């Protein structure tokens, strides 16, 4: 029997990407496609790739609470209200927003508001220890009460037992996949992340600076040095890397593509660390991973090659002149950076094979 799932925020870019992915998923039955202002509108009016007569549903808590799992793909404010109600009604939730990615104090620092549900916020300090070895104990599924930060490759045991998964942000996903394996090899406080994202990263809302005549042909930095993803990167790099790595300099840029995110990360190497050590750290982390690929040295990843996939491609070089490692990490911001990873986490939470419905190779050229 297929699991019944729903999406809240299906009229946004992340939600609509989930609609597309779930249409090809053999084990999940998408029964609620809920939107806010777009409720009642045909899906195909906004997303012409989705054919048929289906219309956006209203957000009906009772109906959502009866499902096996709900994806929340709204801004964080509505997610902070909705997720606890669904979890308390017994429904599993994957939240694509930033509502449950940080501990309460860090949430207050980076989002400028008190966390309304500190009891459900994650505990980064214990995240790594909670991984342990092997599968979750029988009966453990759905037993973890706090939100679990769902960078899947570093959290699969806890994700499988979670009721609420905080799906990582797009920039943190690309950055953490590049840097977590290198945590013991780099100098704390030396990390610089220079990242670029296509315009779909900002969502479907209309904004002057995202208007075609402004964004096309342009590249600009924004948000530095206090972009909200900085706190998420710092928190989870230290927590999942198992080493206190200190503050990170993070500057995102808007580039005139629709999909695609590239994070180029720089760090000073600790004394005696060699290219071979870095290659081994990546091999240990990713040799058996389905979605994270380390390219041969000097062959840097292309964002376009990940488009429409759940993949992440990484490549590194070391620079003996500066003593630094440079790692370039590419994802589709709507794929591994949002809907793809959300589905990867949902598969684990529902006891399905982790890659189910995520086999698509990127569209290229
Ligand atoms: N875009 C990305 O690359 C990306 C990557 C990772 C994470 N995220 C996160 O995922 C979430 C969704 O992002 P997005 O880019 O898909 O946003 P989006 O395109 O702006 O869509 C937002 C969605 O939320 C709904 N919504 C807005 N206000 C609401 C409210 N008060 N109550 C209920 N629903 C409401 C909208 O419904 P209507 O359109 O019907 O009004 C729409 O479906 C955000 O939290 C974002 O930070 C996005």
Mean pLDDT of 193-206: 97
What share of the chain in percent tops pLDDT 70? 96
For the CA of 15, the closest atom of ligand 1 is: 16
Q: What is the pLDDT of residues 320-361, one digit of tens each?
A: 999 999 999 999 999 999 999 999 999 999 999 999 999 999
Q: Tokens for 128?
A: 């790594």
pLDDT value of position 142: 56
Asked if pLDDT for residue 133 goes beyond 80, the answer is no
Q: How far is the CA of 184 from the centre of ligand 1 (A)?
A: 36
- Residue bearing the CA closest to ligand 1, atom 9: 97
**Residue 150: CB atoms within 10 Å:** 30
Judged on CB neighbours under 10 Å (0-12, 13-18, 19+), 20 is middle
Residues 6+ apart with CB under 8 A from 230: 110, 248, 250
Q: What is the pLDDT of residues 204-247, one digit of tens each?
A: 999 999 999 999 999 999 999 999 999 999 999 999 999 999 99
Q: How far is the CA of 202 from the centre of ligand 1 (A)?
A: 9
For the CA of 75, the closest atom of ligand 1 is: 45
Asked if pLDDT for residue 130 goes beyond 80, the answer is no
Asked if pLDDT for residue 25 goes beyond 50, the answer is yes
Q: What is the pLDDT of residues 255-284, one digit of tens each?
A: 999 999 999 999 999 999 999 999 999 999
Q: Are β-strands 324-331 and 312-319 bridged in parallel, bridged antiparallel, or unpaired?
A: antiparallel
Residues 6+ apart with CB under 8 A from 303: 198, 257, 259, 260, 261, 262, 330, 331, 332
Asked if pLDDT for residue 15 goes beyond 80, the answer is yes
Ligand 1: residue of 36, 42, 85 to mutate (most ligand atoms within 8 A of CB) is 36
pLDDT value of position 298: 80
Asked if pLDDT for residue 135 goes beyond 50, the answer is no
For residue 151, CA distances in Å to 21, 175, 184, 271, 282 come to 19, 11, 19, 29, 16
Contact indicator for 5, 68 with CB cutoff of 8 Å: yes
For the CA of 39, the closest atom of ligand 1 is: 40
Q: How far is the CA of 324 from the centre of ligand 1 (A)?
A: 38
Residue numbers annotated as active site: 170
**Residue 206: CB atoms within 10 Å:** 7
Q: What is the pLDDT of residues 150-171, one digit of tens each?
A: 999 999 999 999 999 999 999 9
Residue ranges lining ligand 1, Cβ < 6 Å: 9, 11-15, 35-38, 59, 73-76, 78, 96-98, 169-170, 200-201, 203-205, 333-334, 337-338
Q: How far is the CA of 282 from the centre of ligand 1 (A)?
A: 33
């Amino acid at each position: 029997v297929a699991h019944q799932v729903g999406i809240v925020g299906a009229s946004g870019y992340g939600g609509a990407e989930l609609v597309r992915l779930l249409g090809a998923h053999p084990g999940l039955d998408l029964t609620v496609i809920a939107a806010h202002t777009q409720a009642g509108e045909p899906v195909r009016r906004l997303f012409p790739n989705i054919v048929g007569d289906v219309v956006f549903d209203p957000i009906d808590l009772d109906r959502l609470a009866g499902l096996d799992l709900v994806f929340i793909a709204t801004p964080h404010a509505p997610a902070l209200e909705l997720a606890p109600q669904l979890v308390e009604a017994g429904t599993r939730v994957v939240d694509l927003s930033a509502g449950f990615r940080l501990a309460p104090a860090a949430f207050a620092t980076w989002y400028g508001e008190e966390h309304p549900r500190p009891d459900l916020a994650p505990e980064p300090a214990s995240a790594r220890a909670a991984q342990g070895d092997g599968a979750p104990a029988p009966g453990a599924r759905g037993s973890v009460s706090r939100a679990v930060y769902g960078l899947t490759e570093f959290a699969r045991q806890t994700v499988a037992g979670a009721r609420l998964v905080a799906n990582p942000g797009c920039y943190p996903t690309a950055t953490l996949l590049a840097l977590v394996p290198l945590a013991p090899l780099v100098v704390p406080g030396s990390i610089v992340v220079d990242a670029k994202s296509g315009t779909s990263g900002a969502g479907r809302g209309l904004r002057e600076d995202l208007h075609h005549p402004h964004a096309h042909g342009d590249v600009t930095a924004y948000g530095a040095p206090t972009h909200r993803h900085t706190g998420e990167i710092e928190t989870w790099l230290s927590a999942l890397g198992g080493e206190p790595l200190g503050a990170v300099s993070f500057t995102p840029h808007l580039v005139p593509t629709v999909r695609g995110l590239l994070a180029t990360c720089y760090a000073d190497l600790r004394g005696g660390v060699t290219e071979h050590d870095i290659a081994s750290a990546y091999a240990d982390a990713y040799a058996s991973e389905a979605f994270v690929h380390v390219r041969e040295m000097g062959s840097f990843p292309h964002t376009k090659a990940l488009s429409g996939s759940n993949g992440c491609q990484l490549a590194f070089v070391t620079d003996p002149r500066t003593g630094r490692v440079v790692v370039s990490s590419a994802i589709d911001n709507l794929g591994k950076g949002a809907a793809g990873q959300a589905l990867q986490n949902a598969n684990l939470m529902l006891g399905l094979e982790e890659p189910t419905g995520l086999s698509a190779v990127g569209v290229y050229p």
